Amino acid sequence: MAESTGESDAAMELEVWCAGEDWCPVTTTSSLIGKKWHPVIIHRLLEHGPSGFNELKDDVDGISSKVLSESLEDLGEKQLVRRTVVSEKPYRVEYSLTTHGESLEPVIYAMRDWGLEHLTEPTDENDANG
Amino acid sequence: MAESTGESDAAMELEVWCAGEDWCPVTTTSSLIGKKWHPVIIHRLLEHGPSGFNELKDDVDGISSKVLSESLEDLGEKQLVRRTVVSEKPYRVEYSLTTHGESLEPVIYAMRDWGLEHLTEPTDENDANG
DNA sequence: CTGAATCCTAAAGGATACTG
DNA sequence: CAGTATCCTTTAGGATTCAG
């Protein structure tokens, strides 16, 4: 517990992975954020700032607590998200982006912008296919 | 066969998905390209232009033919990649980005740039933790 | 060359219930 | 509020083989 209290995230090296021999920044970046919920979680933390667990769960519509918990743990290991206990009684926790996490802003916003430009929001009126 | 010859990809709507009620461009974008190999494949097609199957397989270091084949099929269904038979004898195929696929350039390059800036290429010399 | 078929394992994700 | 634990299903991914 209290695994986050001592880190200086800005200076830490991130874990990297790459298939094969060639080092590839695209591959490694996508190995960090290429999970189903990671981009959304980061996006919500970018938009709403530090959030509690259920607050985040509410923002990330559709995620289960188990998956959110695992995702946050993974993002924590990758040093993109920090967990802080802000109050013991009542027990309150805050998730926020590390410096590395914040630096993903251009990536996340590029995804958002692309989505806004190229994807059409499905509407109830046009889901009938005729 | 020749399933690609009639499409006008620029005008087509892309399939979208979003968990829960809220429409979210980040979620849907990541549902399109948030597979392990999709960003790399798109990146290679951006960099090298139209490529044959094995050419691409060679560029995407570490991928198996099965996974590459499935990824390309998926990217094709999502209308990001186009498949063209350029020669019947000898049999030659070319994969290239559709207009939608090309439009992902900012996203892919954002990922690449982030990787270049924030990830350190692992070297054989420094893997000892001293 | 292009890629489909098969088999297999590991990982991701979801529903639900329960705990401090 | 903030999660864990359990169970289960689906999917992704990898190795290998085979075929047009």
- Domain positions in chain B are 35-119
Closest by Cβ to B115, choosing from A19, A25, A110: A25
Q: Report the predicted TM-score, pTM, of the whole model to 2 decimal places.
A: 0.84
Question: Distance from residue B19 (CA) to nucleotide C15 (C1'), in Å?
Answer: 15
| CATH topology for the B35-119 domain | Arc Repressor Mutant, subunit A (1.10.10)
B126 beta carbon to strand C: under 7 Å: no
pLDDT in tens, A33-87: 988 999 999 999 999 999 999 999 999 989 999 999 999 999 999 999 999 999 9
pLDDT of residue B119: 74
Mean pLDDT across chain A, nearest whole number?
82
pLDDT of residue A4: 41
Task: For residue A5, give Cα distances in angstroms to A53, A82, A83.
Answer: 18, 9, 8
pLDDT of residue A16: 61
Nearest residue for C1, CA–C1' = B91
Phi, psi of B3 (to 5 degrees): -75, -5
**pLDDT tens, position by position, for chain B (130 residues)?**
333 433 444 445 566 666 555 788 998 898 888 888 999 999 999 999 999 999 999 999 889 999 999 999 999 998 999 999 999 988 999 999 999 999 999 999 999 999 998 876 655 444 433 2
Question: In percent, how much of chain A has pLDDT > 90?
Answer: 61
Alpha helix segments (H runs only) across chain A = 25-33, 38-48, 53-59, 65-77, 99-102, 105-118
A36 beta carbon to strand C: under 7 Å: yes
Give A-chain residues touching B36 at CB under 8 angstroms: 30-31, 34
User: Which one has a higher pLDDT value, A62 or A120?
Assistant: A62
Paired tokens of A102? 């914040």
Q: How far is B91 from chain A (nearest CA, A)?
A: 28
B19 beta carbon to strand C: under 7 Å: yes
